[in-house]
């Protein structure tokens, strides 16, 4: 391994550690749902960088055999981590799109993206529901007033 290749590994692993710490701190410190989601994206990027770094070989070639060749003469780069990272990127984009759509729904329902305010609103709503009288007699009285309009196959028999 040359001296330059050693520096590449050091910078790559420092990048992994930096992205991972930044993502975890972002998810732990902030209360905004979008910032927490961005922290999750940073953690995902750190994992992808780690996988690419593991599969890297300085001076490595693509593992493609020419016709009639039975073995590689030089060190080849491992293609599995690259394929895993490409798959993880595609899945990550789908997860991020789904998470952002859920964030939009949460904002429309609660009017805020602060997780502490959402927890307070949810607690207030659950306290209001617990004060309602859901006794059996009250529910059966309400059910008796609902007309039965369902028939089977259009006939009453």
What's the residue count for the chain? 157
Range of the structural domain that residue 97 is part of? 3-59+78-142
Task: Give the pLDDT confidence score for residue 9 in this predicted structure.
Answer: 86
Query: Has residue 11 been placed in a domain?
Result: yes
Please check whether residue 74 is in contact with residue 65, taking contact to mean a CB–CB distance below 8 angstroms: no
Query: Has residue 69 been placed in a domain?
Result: no
Query: Has residue 36 been placed in a domain?
Result: yes
pTM greater than 0.75 (yes/no):
no
Domain count along the chain: 1
Query: Has residue 46 been placed in a domain?
Result: yes
C-alpha distances out from residue 128 to 14, 36, 114, 118, Å: 51, 29, 21, 15
Query: Has residue 72 been placed in a domain?
Result: no
Query: Has residue 156 been placed in a domain?
Result: no
pLDDT 10s digits, 27-85: 999 999 999 999 999 999 999 999 999 888 777 787 788 887 777 767 778 888 889 99
Query: Has residue 65 been placed in a domain?
Result: no
CATH of the domain at 102: 1.10.287.3510
C-alpha to C-alpha distance for 70 and 68, rounded to whole angstroms? 6
């Amino acid at each position: 391994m040359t001296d330059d290749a050693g520096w590449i590994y050091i910078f790559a692993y420092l990048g992994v550690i930096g992205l991972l710490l930044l993502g975890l701190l972002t998810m732990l410190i902030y209360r905004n749902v979008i910032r927490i989601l961005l922290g999750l994206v940073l953690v995902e990027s750190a994992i992808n960088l780690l996988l690419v770094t593991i599969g890297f070989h300085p001076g490595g070639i693509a593992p493609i055999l020419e016709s009639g060749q039975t073995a590689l003469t030089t060190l080849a780069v491992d293609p599995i981590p690259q394929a895993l990272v490409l798959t993880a990127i595609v899945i990550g984009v789908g997860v991020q799109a789904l998470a952002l759509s859920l964030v939009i729904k949460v904002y429309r329902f609660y009017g805020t993206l602060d997780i502490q305010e959402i927890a307070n609103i949810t607690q207030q709503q659950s306290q209001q529901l617990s004060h309602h009288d859901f006794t059996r007699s009250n529910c059966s009285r309400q059910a008796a007033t609902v007309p039965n309009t369902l028939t089977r196959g259009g006939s009453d028999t």
